[in-house]
Structure 1
Amino acid sequence: MKSTRSSDELHPVYLQINLKLILFDGKTHEFLFCPSDTAADIAEHVYTHWPKDWTKELCPATNILRLIYQGRFLHGNVSLAALQLPTGKTTVMHLVARDNLPEPNNPGQLKKDKSGEPGCSNCCAVL
């Protein structure tokens, strides 16, 4: 069963993004969203329209619902359009309860780690 945002009824389905959300226990539900909707908008909508087949005990506060897409937490201001998700197709994301998000990766630190410059490495020298 799909849930549609009432404000999206003016937008044809082929211009919307079908999100299939998966809970940690494997339960799923599909929702339709506009590309301009943000992760915070989605969390608010899901919280407000919590599916009946998802247990009520697992319904946390809206401000701790987090989306995971391709292994990364989405911050609240990220829109579906920014992720370049295809309209008219189904995209799968995970929905979890988490108080705070991890900090975005520091590109300088990643570069330093990969370049082999001083720091902790994944090798061991036996003398």
Structure 2
Amino acid sequence: MSSRNIPADKINLRLILVSGKTKEFLFSPSDSAGDIAQTVFDNWPEDWAAEAVPKAEVLRLIYQGRFLHCNVTLGALVLPLGKTTVMHLVPRDNLPEPNSQDQRQKSKSGSRRCCAATCCIL
């Protein structure tokens, strides 16, 4: 879709809104989902005016069907450098609870994800 050259040390994110509109932004592996939301909010594309949000904090990224918490970095997702990765960008105040039905189904099937970003409150 895009013919621009992507620097070898950057990740090109193609963000898709619910409306289907897309825009591409360049980020570093050290950028977090929260940084990305703030950058997109600060540089809101003119053709996205109808989907404008009141503050960056309501913007959430979805990658491979999962909401990303604001402190997850692109590097932690092991995204390829110099390439384009597609994510969805949605306005949402809260993330789903980790103990939702999706989590229960995962534990029933016995599948485990190797992710160090899991929090457990005892």
User: Is the pair's TM-score, using the shorter chain for normalization, greater than 0.5?
Assistant: yes
Q: Tell me, in whole angstroms, the C-alpha distance in 1 between the residues paired with 2:46 and 2:83.
A: 24
Q: SS at the partner of 2:31?
A: coil
Unmatched segments (≥5 aa) in structure 1: 3-11, 116-127
- Cα deviation for residue 22 of structure 1 reads 0.2
Query: Is 1:103 equivalent to 2:97 in the alignment?
Result: yes
TM-score, length-scaled by structure 1: 0.74
SS of the residue aligned with 1:53?
helix
What amino acid maps onto 1:13 in structure 2?
Answer: P
Q: Which residue is equivalent to 1:76? A: 70
Partner residue, 2:43: 49
What is the CA distance between 1:105 and its match in structure 2? 4.7
Amino acid of the structure 2 residue aligned with 1:82: A
Question: What 5-or-longer segments of structure 2 have no aligned partner?
Answer: 111-122
What is the deviation of 1:27? 0.3
2: CA distance between counterparts of 1:33 and 1:105? 31
Letter in 2 for 1:94: H
SS in 2 for 1:100: coil
2:51 pairs with 1:58: yes
- Structure 1 runs of 4+ with >4 Å offset: none
What is the CA–CA distance in structure 1 between the aligned matches of 2:31 and 2:98, rounded to whole Å?
21
| Number of residue equivalences | 103
Structure 1 CA distance, aligned partners of 2:22 and 2:99?
29
Match of 1:35 among 19, 29, 33: 29
Q: Rg bigger for which structure?
A: 1
Question: Is structure 2 residue 91 aligned with structure 1 residue 90?
Answer: no
Q: 1:32 to 1:102 in 2, by over 3 A?
A: same
1:36 & 1:28 partners in 2: Cα distance?
23
- Aligned-residue sequence identity (percent) comes to 59
For 1:114, give the aligned amino acid: S
> Structure 1 residue 36: deviation in Å?
0.3
The TM-score with structure 2 as length reference comes to 0.76
